[in-house]
């Protein structure tokens, strides 16, 4: 003979062990068709289902429901729900009463309930629906609960969101103090996972039962553990991920600090390689070196201005390919070679550049470089220059017009191409300014070089009354702050009025 509990599977013994006759539902053979049908339905359902039957909401459930109530089973079977769920009755009791009184079915998603099911008050979440079960005459005899536990999903989403926000907040910090200021509000926003969380400098020796994770830079993450969550591998793994996110931020602080130090050293080295310019009569000479907005390596940009044996002024601006110590070393070699060649050989700039290229080849200075070299005769105020692949100097006339000293392109230095170089000549009237520069002043990733050249001319136009120093300051302020490469400037201006 088939009984009401034949489909109970692993719960059959528990069902048969309940003294139903002594309880609110009475003997099984007296159960109503609605109750028997509901029990048959839930025992043949693999989803977690429970019944709350009669005015006392007596519990009957299937095997899938057992993990949801933990240690409450098997005592919960056949017991009134008010007794089984005393700790959460204030939350679920009114919902059950409403449905039994004829109200609509309920739907609750990810409801938080602090349940006593494993010996402590546990943080749990459930998505469930309470629906009325009616007898043949339409009377509501009980309530059916179709439920799923979402504790893992809710807690997992909460922790994942914390890790995402924490990673975002510490991604761009510059100092340890800034990391603490940014991270602590995020960590404190989830007291359900990190109660009483702290970020401390130094290592504590007192064991107060809290978790301590040592971090770089002398920091320590200290936090309590939630009394409402199991201290399991998931919880400890989450704490390790929090620590890893903080370590990532601290490592970036260390990298930025090292980069800042490297940048300071690099800039100091770069400046040490660039000497003060000569200041001959009748001319103003001003120079500037402006490091790139980003990056820590020394580069190959350089300037030079020195007096030659015949009293003329030599001005050179160049750029060696690369942005590292090798480029800086090559720059120093080329600058010194050009200085020595120019001083020793009384030849025009084109011949000096040819001699420099030969020296680079013979001495195995295996880099490419652009250079513009000019010689200014202080008696005639004639400037002769030669350009080896460098951006053209800009000429600002006394009436404020700006133009480039363009010439036929000639090969870079270091190419080992047999080339005939040429010198060009212009006269510097009183008040005339010549601007030498490296391409970092003009080049930007978001615009073509021709646009940069046009911007330079626009910036220079109408500024013929500026001194060489003022002109350097103006160009640096206007064009260098967002430079993506190092910038070198050399400005030579013939004084408007000759000294008496």
Specify the CATH number for the domain of residue 388. 3.60.40.10
Whether 164 and 255 map to the same domain: the answer is yes
**96 neighbors 108 (Cβ within 8 angstroms):** no
Whole-number CA gyration radius for the chain: 42
Whether 178 and 260 map to the same domain: the answer is yes
pTM: 0.61
**300 neighbors 328 (Cβ within 8 angstroms):** yes
- For residue 418, the model assigns a pLDDT of 78
Whether 65 and 143 map to the same domain: the answer is yes
**Which of 149, 184, 200 corresponds to the end of one domain?**
149
Whether 478 and 460 map to the same domain: the answer is yes
**Which of 121, 149, 177 corresponds to the end of one domain?**
149
- Asked, for residue 425, whether it belongs to a domain, the answer is yes
- For the chain, the domain total comes to 3
Whether 142 and 287 map to the same domain: the answer is no
Task: Give CA separation, 451 vs 336, 465, 489, in Å.
Answer: 33, 25, 19
Domain that holds residue 236: 154-267
Sign of the CA dihedral with 364 first, then 365, 371, and 376 last: negative
Sign of the CA dihedral with 153 first, then 154, 157, and 160 last: negative
**Which of 213, 247, 267 corresponds to the end of one domain?**
267
pLDDT in tens, 331-385: 888 999 999 999 999 999 999 999 999 999 888 888 899 999 999 999 999 999 9
Whether 202 and 58 map to the same domain: the answer is no
Cα(272)–Cα(332) distance, rounded to whole angstroms?
A: 10
- Asked, for residue 500, whether it belongs to a domain, the answer is no
Cα(205)–Cα(203) distance, rounded to whole angstroms?
A: 7
Confidence label for 329 from pLDDT (cuts 50, 70 and 90): confident
Whether 173 and 28 map to the same domain: the answer is no
Structure tokens that stand for 110 in this block? 């990810």
Whether 24 and 53 map to the same domain: the answer is yes
Whether 131 and 159 map to the same domain: the answer is no
pLDDT above 70 as % of the chain: 93
Whether 110 and 37 map to the same domain: the answer is yes
- Asked, for residue 354, whether it belongs to a domain, the answer is yes
- Asked, for residue 499, whether it belongs to a domain, the answer is no
Whether 398 and 254 map to the same domain: the answer is no
**374 neighbors 353 (Cβ within 8 angstroms):** no
* Count of beta carbons in the 10 Å neighbourhood of residue 339: 16
Whether 47 and 195 map to the same domain: the answer is no
Confidence label for 499 from pLDDT (cuts 50, 70 and 90): very low
Confidence label for 290 from pLDDT (cuts 50, 70 and 90): confident
pLDDT in tens, 21-52: 999 999 999 999 999 999 999 999 999 999 99
pLDDT in tens, 388-437: 999 999 999 999 999 999 988 899 998 877 788 999 999 999 999 999 99
DSSP 28: G
């Amino acid at each position: 003979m088939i009984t009401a509990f034949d489909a109970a599977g692993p719960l059959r013994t528990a069902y048969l062990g309940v003294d139903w006759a002594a309880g609110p539902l009475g003997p099984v053979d007296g159960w109503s068709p609605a109750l028997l049908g509901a029990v048959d339905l839930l025992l043949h359902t693999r989803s977690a289902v429970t019944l709350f039957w009669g005015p006392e909401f007596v519990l009957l459930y299937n095997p899938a429901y057992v993990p949801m109530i933990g240690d409450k089973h098997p005592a919960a079977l056949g017991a009134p729900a008010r007794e089984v769920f005393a700790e959460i009755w204030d939350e679920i009791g009114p919902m059950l009463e409403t449905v039994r009184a004829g109200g609509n079915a309920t739907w609750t998603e990810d409801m938080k309930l602090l349940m006593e099911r494993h010996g402590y008050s546990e943080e749990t979440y459930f998505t469930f629906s309470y629906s009325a079960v009616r007898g043949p005459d339409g009377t509501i005899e009980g309530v059916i609960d179709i439920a799923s536990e979402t504790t893992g999903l809710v807690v997992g989403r909460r922790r994942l969101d914390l890790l995402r926000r924490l990673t975002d907040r510490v991604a761009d910090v510059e100092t340890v103090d800034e990391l603490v200021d940014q991270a602590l509000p995020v960590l404190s926003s989830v007291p359900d996972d990190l109660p009483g969380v702290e970020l401390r400098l130094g290592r504590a020796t007192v064991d107060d039962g809290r978790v301590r994770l040592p971090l770089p830079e002398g920091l320590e993450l200290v936090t309590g553990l939630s009394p409402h969550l199991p201290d399991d591998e998931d919880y400890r793994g989450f704490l390790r991920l929090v620590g890893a996110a903080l370590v990532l931020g601290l490592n970036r602080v260390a990298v930025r600090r090292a980069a800042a130090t490297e940048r300071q050293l690099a800039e100091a080295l770069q400046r040490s390689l660039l000497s003060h310019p000569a200041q001959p009569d009748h001319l103003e000479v001003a120079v500037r070196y402006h490091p790139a907005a980003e990056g820590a390596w020394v580069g190959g940009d350089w300037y030079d201005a020195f007096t030659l044996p015949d009293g003329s002024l030599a001005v050179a601006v160049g750029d060696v390919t690369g942005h590292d110590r090798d480029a800086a070393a090559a720059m120093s070699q080329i600058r010194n070679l050009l200085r020595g060649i120019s001083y020793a050989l009384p030849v025009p700039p084109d011949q000096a550049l040819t001699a420099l290229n030969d020296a680079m080849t013979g001495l195995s200075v295996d880099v490419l470089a652009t250079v513009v070299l000019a010689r200014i005769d202080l008696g005639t105020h004639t400037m002769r220059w030669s350009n080896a692949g460098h951006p053209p100097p800009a000429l600002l006339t006394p009436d404020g017009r700006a133009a480039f000293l363009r010439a036929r392109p000639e090969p870079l230095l270091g190419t080992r191409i047999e080339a005939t170089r040429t010198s060009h000549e212009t006269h510097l009237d009183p008040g005339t300014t010549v601007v030498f520069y490296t391409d970092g002043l003009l080049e930007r990733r978001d615009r073509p070089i021709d646009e940069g050249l046009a911007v330079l001319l626009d910036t220079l136009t109408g500024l013929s009354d500026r001194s060489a120093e003022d002109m350097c300051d103006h160009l640096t302020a206007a064009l260098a702050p967002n430079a993506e490469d190092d910038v070198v400037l050399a400005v030579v201006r013939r004084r408007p009025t000759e000294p008496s």
